Amino acid sequence: MEISNIVLQYLKVLLSWPVITLILVMSFFKLFKDPISDFIHRLIKGEIGSVKLQATSPADQKKEAEEFPPIQPKNELELYVKKYPGEAIKTIIEISRNLRFEKIFNIIYGTQINLLTHLSTKGKSGDKYINLAFYYHDYISRSKFYSAKIEDYFGFLGSIQMIKFFGEGNDVSVRITPEGINFLSYIKKEYPAIFNYKPF
């Protein structure tokens, strides 16, 4: 008698709506895996509230794909470099610079970007080192990292050639370098909405 009751209890659980719904949903996804995957890859709009979804048609998707030609074979690239060495070098330099700027943007602090922006308005005369301590103190205030040293904060910008120090003793000043100007131009172009919203 007890065994039959246990079996009935198990059957009740197995035949309950949540379990049946789960089985149906899993079966649906298994049967329509390829069409669903294709739809998700083409999805361009979505709405959670009233569940509105929109995907590009395969024809539009194919048209968009034509804008991304395949990578040229190695021998064609070699021919291009031999034929247009100046253009090839220029492209390599630009890619290398952009990659460097991306790496810097990943680790630079928001207050350091603000400091560079301030220096970009000062031209070759730059600004007194003592006046720029404000940005360091702003960093400390935001990060709560009280053991950070001011020489490290400025030293990082110097080591990546974004700023240059000049003068002696208490009369040390700081100016932005051409590399710093180029970096600011790059991040303003690539990240116009967020370049000056980095923490710290």
The first and second tokens of residue 36, run together, are: 């669903």
| 198 domain residue, yes or no | no
Check whether 63 has a pLDDT greater than 70: no
Same domain for 95 and 157, yes or no, is: no
Best mean pLDDT range from 39-53, 110-124, 137-151:
110-124
127-128 β-sheet, strand order: 127-128, 173-176, 163-166
| 122 domain residue, yes or no | yes
Please name which of 103, 134, 127 lies closest in space to residue 176, comparing C-alpha atoms. 127
Tell me the pLDDT tens digit for each residue of 120-159.
Answer: 999 888 899 889 989 999 888 888 888 888 888 888 898 8
Same domain for 61 and 17, yes or no, is: yes
Same domain for 82 and 123, yes or no, is: no
Same domain for 58 and 36, yes or no, is: yes
Q: How large is the angle between the packed helices 133-143 and 110-120, nearest 10 degrees?
A: 160
Check whether 175 has a pLDDT greater than 90: yes
| 200 domain residue, yes or no | no
Burial 131-168 (b: 16+ CB within 10 A, else e): ebeebbebbbeeeeeeeeeeeebbebbeebebbbeeee
Total count of domains within the chain? 3
Same domain for 134 and 151, yes or no, is: yes
Same domain for 118 and 136, yes or no, is: yes
Residue 107 has a pLDDT of 85
Q: What is the mean pLDDT of residues 47-74?
A: 57
Domain limits for position 61: 2-65
**23-27, 94-98, 152-156: the lowest-pLDDT one:** 23-27
Same domain for 123 and 174, yes or no, is: yes
Q: How many CA atoms lie within 13 A of 31 on its CB side?
A: 6
- Measured distance CA(45)–CA(34) in Å, rounded: 20
| 46 domain residue, yes or no | yes
